[in-house]
């Protein structure tokens, strides 16, 4: 049976959709929840914290600082990024409870604009966004190791790329061997990243208190108390030259700010998964907004505080050239011995994120193949090509374990999908660097986030009687649409190469979509 228009992207064709409100079950009696409703608002708060906080807080500060004139401006970028995450999460909660399901934005786009937009969203995530994400994480893993040894190069040599490729292959292999084992590490990785952020903030506060209480003795970078936080300063560029911010025009500044914002949005990524949390809340219409309105502000405070700590712990000229700010800060504050420990912690966080993203992109690819959007062999599980290599694989994307409704952790690995994502991620590692990929990733994600939230506004007029258990004030999605729309347009103008590649990927996707539709009809 073909999947319905609102069937989830991350589920097999036989997977039932999730009702996200008891009233919703009355409106859609055919919907059966996959998960038991036993979580409280506090549980929802904790889940959102664990979903959103990832490796970005340890790697994005450098790319953000390199694109703003002052530390104060960088902290404002983190606030704006948090505002976008907040308004976006509330709007996504509206759509997620109005259209129950375990998928992402694909079913919403299909309902609002038509199937081709749902396909393009899936295509973009499988071909561009997720492989770029894995490439960034692999690069950050390697840069964290080098930073612990005191190596912070704005233009790292080819050896860094080679090691990044090695990390990518290891991650993909780990998911190919046992997705069950890799996903079980999730709780451990969450604890590690929260501990790391806490220690960073404590280190920054320690430097401030020692300076204030010990006659100006400074264990930090020195600039935090001797220079203005909003005063323009020269920024070191990848080629070693310095950029004079006082010579930049307003239009150029907007371009730089948009590029910086993509770094913050990378760190806040995961806010769009708020509707996943709703699937297990006892009373989503009340608990989901409460969870969002407490979790996202908490994350904003943590991110701003951690970045303020970076500027306290490090000389400001160092921050713009590092892609591993946390490890660099610990190295400067406590020496190389502690830096090695910090590098291990950060690498564990990055590895956890990479394993999770590798797992997800495999499932996304299988789901898209099940919708007949992609070739059949990409929808197989437990097989390499046409050869079965894992027990229980049915070979059609809906193997025995999935048919029995078992956890995705027990489903055989998606070998063919993992091979595809590994090849694409390797290409991004070879042709780009972390900062280029951050912009590319942001353009890819926020083009569709903008369309999704704009669609939520359109539905307010087109389908005013649609049951919406969660319905934020119209200004909330409007703020997201205005800011994200501008960021996408100005960011594309400022980064024409990344934008052109993305448009090319969409064009190929459209050709593939209509050619495949025609072939399937014949």
Q: For residue range 114-158, what is the model confidence (pLDDT) as tens digits?
A: 999 999 999 999 999 999 999 999 998 998 888 888 776 656 678
Query: Residue 382: which of 371, 370, 394, 372 has the closest Cα?
Result: 394
- Checking if the pLDDT of 411 tops 50, the result is no
pLDDT in tens, 371-410: 888 887 776 655 555 545 455 444 444 444 444 444 444 4
With 0.85 as the threshold, say if the pTM is over it: no
Distance CA 385, CA 297 (A): 46
pLDDT of residue 52: 87
Phi/psi of residue 384, nearest 5 degrees: -110, 115
Q: What is the pLDDT of residue 413?
A: 55
Compute the distance between CA of residue 400 and CA of residue 210 in angstroms, rounded to an integer.
62
Helices 475-494 and 250-268, axial angle in degrees (round to 10) = 120
Q: Give the mean pLDDT of 349-371.
A: 82
- The band of 28, judged by pLDDT with boundaries at 50, 70 and 90, is very low
Q: What is 22-28+41-521's CATH topology? A: Amino acid/polyamine transporter I (1.20.1740)
- Among the residue ranges 179-188, 280-289, 441-450, 468-477, the one predicted with the least confidence is 179-188
Average pLDDT over the chain, rounded to an integer:
81
> For strand 242-243 and strand 383-384, is the pairing parallel, antiparallel, or unpaired?
unpaired
Exposed, middle or buried, 414 (CB in 10 Å: 0-12/13-18/19+)? buried
Task: Give the model's pLDDT for residue 32.
Answer: 41
pLDDT at position 154: 57
Question: Which pLDDT does position 402 carry in this prediction?
Answer: 42
Matching residue, tokens 């209509």: 514
Q: Are 84 and 483 in contact (CB under 8 A)?
A: yes
Q: pLDDT confidence of 502, banded at 50, 70, 90? A: very high
Q: Taking residues 441-455, what's their average pLDDT?
A: 95
The distance of Cα 473 from the centroid of its chain, to the nearest Å, equals: 26
**What was the pLDDT predicted at 2?**
33
Question: Do 316 and 229 contact (CB within 8 A), yes or no?
Answer: no
pLDDT greater at residue 6 or residue 80 = 80
Phi, psi of 276 (to 5 degrees): -65, -40
pLDDT of 3 higher than 50 = no
Residue 89's pLDDT is what?
93
Question: Which residue ranges make up each domain of the chain?
Answer: 22-28+41-521
Predicted confidence at residue 35, as pLDDT, reads 45
Residues 6 or more apart from 420 whose CB is under 8 A from it? 126, 365, 378
With a cut of 50, say whether residue 277 has pLDDT above it.
yes
Q: What is the reported pLDDT for 24? A: 38
Least-confidence region, from 69-78, 360-369, 383-392? 383-392
Q: 13 Cβ partners below 8 Å, 6+ apart?
A: 1, 2, 3, 7, 370, 371, 397, 398
Residue 107: CB atoms within 10 Å: 25
pLDDT greater than 90 at residue 256: yes
Q: Which residue has the tokens 């937009």?
A: 117
Residue 414 or residue 399, greater confidence:
414
The percent of residues above 70 in pLDDT, for the chain, comes to: 79
Decide: 148 and 343 in contact? Cβ < 8 Å: yes
Tens of pLDDT, residues 234-246 = 887 666 678 889 8
pLDDT at 401: 43
């Amino acid at each position: 049976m073909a999947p319905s228009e609102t069937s989830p992207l991350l589920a097999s064709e036989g997977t039932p959709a999730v009702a996200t409100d008891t009233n919703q079950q009355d409106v859609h009696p055919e919907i059966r929840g996959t998960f038991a409703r036993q979580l409280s608002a506090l549980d929802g708060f904790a889940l959102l914290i664990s979903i959103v906080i990832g490796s970005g807080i340890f790697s994005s500060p450098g790319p953000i600082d390199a694109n703003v004139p002052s530390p104060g401006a960088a902290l404002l970028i983190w606030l704006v990024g948090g505002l976008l995450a907040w308004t976006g999460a509330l709007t996504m909660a509206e759509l997620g409870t109005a259209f129950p399901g375990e998928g992402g934005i694909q079913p919403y786009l299909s309902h609002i604009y038509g199937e081709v937009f749902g396909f393009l969203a899936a295509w973009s995530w499988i071909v561009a966004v997720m492989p770029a994400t894995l490439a960034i994480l692999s690069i950050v893993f390697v840069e964290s190791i080098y930073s612990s040894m005191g190596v912070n190069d704005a233009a790292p040599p080819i050896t860094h790329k080679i090691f990044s490729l090695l990390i990518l292959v290891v991650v993909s292999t780990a998911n190919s061997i046992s997705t069950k084992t890799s996903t079980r590490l999730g709780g451990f990785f969450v604890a590690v990243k929260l501990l790391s952020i806490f220690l960073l903030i404590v280190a920054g506060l320690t430097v401030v208190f020692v300076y204030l209480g010990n006659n100006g003795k400074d264990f930090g970078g020195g600039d935090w108390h001797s220079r203005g936080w909003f005063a323009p300063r020269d920024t070191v560029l990848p080629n070693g030259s310095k950029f004079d911010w006082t010579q930049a025009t307003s239009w150029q500044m907007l371009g730089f700010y948009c590029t910086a914002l993509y770094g913050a949005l990378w760190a806040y990524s995961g806010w769009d998964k708020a509707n996943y949390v709703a699937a297990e809340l006892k009373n989503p219409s009340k608990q989901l907004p409460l969870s969002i309105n407490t979790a996202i502000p908490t994350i904003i405070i943590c991110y701003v505080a951690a970045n303020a700590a970076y500027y306290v712990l490090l000389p400001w000229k160092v921050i713009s050239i590092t892609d591993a700010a946390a490890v660099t800060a610990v190295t400067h504050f406590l020496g190389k011995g502690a830096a090695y420990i910090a590098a291990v912690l950060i690498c564990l966080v990055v590895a956890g994120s990479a394993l999770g993203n590798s797992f997800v992109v495999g499932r996304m690819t299988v789901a898209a193949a099940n919708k007949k959007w992609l070739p059949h062999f990409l929808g197989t599980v437990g097989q390499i090509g046409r050869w079965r290599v894992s027990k229980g694989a049915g070979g059609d994307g809906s193997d025995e374990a999935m048919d029995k409704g078992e956890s995705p952790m027990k489903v055989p690995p998606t070998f063919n999908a993992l091979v595809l994502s590994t090849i694409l991620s390797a290409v991004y590692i070879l042709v780009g660097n972390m900062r280029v990929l951050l912009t590319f990733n942001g353009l890819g994600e926020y083009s569709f986030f903008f369309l999704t939230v704009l669609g939520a506004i359109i539905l307010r007029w087109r389908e005013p009687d649609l049951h919406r258990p969660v319905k934020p004030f119209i200004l909330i999605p409007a703020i997201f649409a205005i800011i994200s729309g501008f960021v996408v347009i100005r960011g594309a103008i400022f980064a024409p190469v990344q934008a052109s590649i993305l448009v090319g990927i969409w064009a190929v996707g459209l050709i593939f979509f209509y050619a495949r539709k025609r072939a399937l009809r014949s």
